[in-house]
Amino acid sequence: MFLSLLRAEWLKLRLRPLGWLLLAIFLVLIALYLSLWYVIAALHSGLIGVGEAELVILSDAQIAQIERQLSFPGIFGAVLGQINGIGGILAVILAGGALGSEYGWGTLRTQLSHAPQRGQLLAAKCVALALLVLLAMVIALAVGSAFALLYSTALGLENYLTAADLARIVLGMGRALFILAPYMLASLACAALGRSVLSGIGGGMLFLIVDIGLGSIDMLGAGGEVVRSLLNLSLQPNINALVVANSRSFGIDQSVFARALDLANLPPTWQAVLIIVVYCVLFYYMAHQWLTKRDIGGPV
């Protein structure tokens, strides 16, 4: 039964235009992001524009990090960082739309009339969403690699790629998906609570905004050690810890750009994993309860 539900969920996600539209938006943003870094690096080196002597935009350390992101293997850390940045917003929209639209279209009631196991349906939807996000990651990494090959050649940067780097890509994709999971599950829970696309996306976005706000307070170091310890129980500082770990594995130092981000204040990796798991379990339980315990109507 689960495999049948999984096939059905995958078919719905693959045929609905929302997922492909979000992917297209993300790929355009990746192209703009890398192109901007290329222009800055090219201006700094004098390859284009007025030349290095007349134009100082960033420090040498920052330029070195930009060049790292425009070459291999740093490009993988750059793309994964964007996946856990702007990609988190798109993932919330995808998850909220995936479940919320089922209520408005009446497809959820129709599907449950053939397969009434709501718990298995939710699990199948989560797995299908994870597979779709992983597919989107592969496409984004391929597009980013094409831009990196083009721009690194133009800038004369050195590229190298080892078997260990390939293993880090797999680990990085898994870590990036793990980072997105609580936000997607929060969006699913909100969609099940409000039984609509608006509640799913709106609730997920509200949680994301509040969580980022708490993370900003922690970055500013406000309140001392006691407040920081409490804030480290929220999701964002622990998300930041894994994002930084993902970047570091490809040689990228985010603190060069985000000077307010004190890496010493980030939670340890074991705590980050534990906190994220707790949030995932909590949101999945909420989604399961609201999906299985509430009546499901048809389309209006």
pLDDT for 83 equals: 96
What is the rounded CA–CA span in Å between residue 61 and residue 63? 5
pLDDT at residue number 225: 72
Q: For residue range 116-130, list pLDDT tens digits in order.
A: 688 899 999 999 999
Q: What is the pLDDT of residues 132-148, one digit of tens each?
A: 999 999 999 999 999 99
Q: List CB contacts of 260: < 8 A, sequence separation 6 or more.
A: 219, 220
Residues of the chain below pLDDT 50? 51-55, 300
Q: How far is CA 278 from CA 128, 156, 161, 271, in A?
A: 21, 46, 36, 10
Q: What is the pLDDT of residue 258?
A: 63
User: What is the pLDDT at residue 261?
Assistant: 61
pLDDT digits (tens, 9 = 90+) for 258-273: 655 666 778 899 999 9
Model pLDDT for residues 225-249, shown as the tens digit of each residue: 777 777 888 898 899 899 999 999 9
Is 288 buried (19+), middle (13-18) or exposed (0-12) by CB count in 10 A?
A: middle
pLDDT computed for residue 145 by the predictor? 96
Q: What pTM did the predictor assign?
A: 0.91
pLDDT (0 to 100) of residue 50: 55
Q: How far apart are CA 200 and CA 177, in angstroms?
A: 19
Question: CA triplet 266, 271, 273: central angle to 5 degrees?
Answer: 105
> Which one, of 32, 35, 56, 34, lies nearest residue 44 by Cα?
56
pLDDT at 214: 74
Name the phi and psi angles at 124, rounded to 5: -65, -40
Q: In the chain, where are the structural domains located?
A: 18-293
The CA–CA distances, whole Å, from 166 to 21, 161, 169, 174, 250 equal: 28, 8, 5, 13, 11
Q: What does the alpha-carbon distance between residue 8 and residue 12 come to, in Å, rounded to a whole number? A: 6
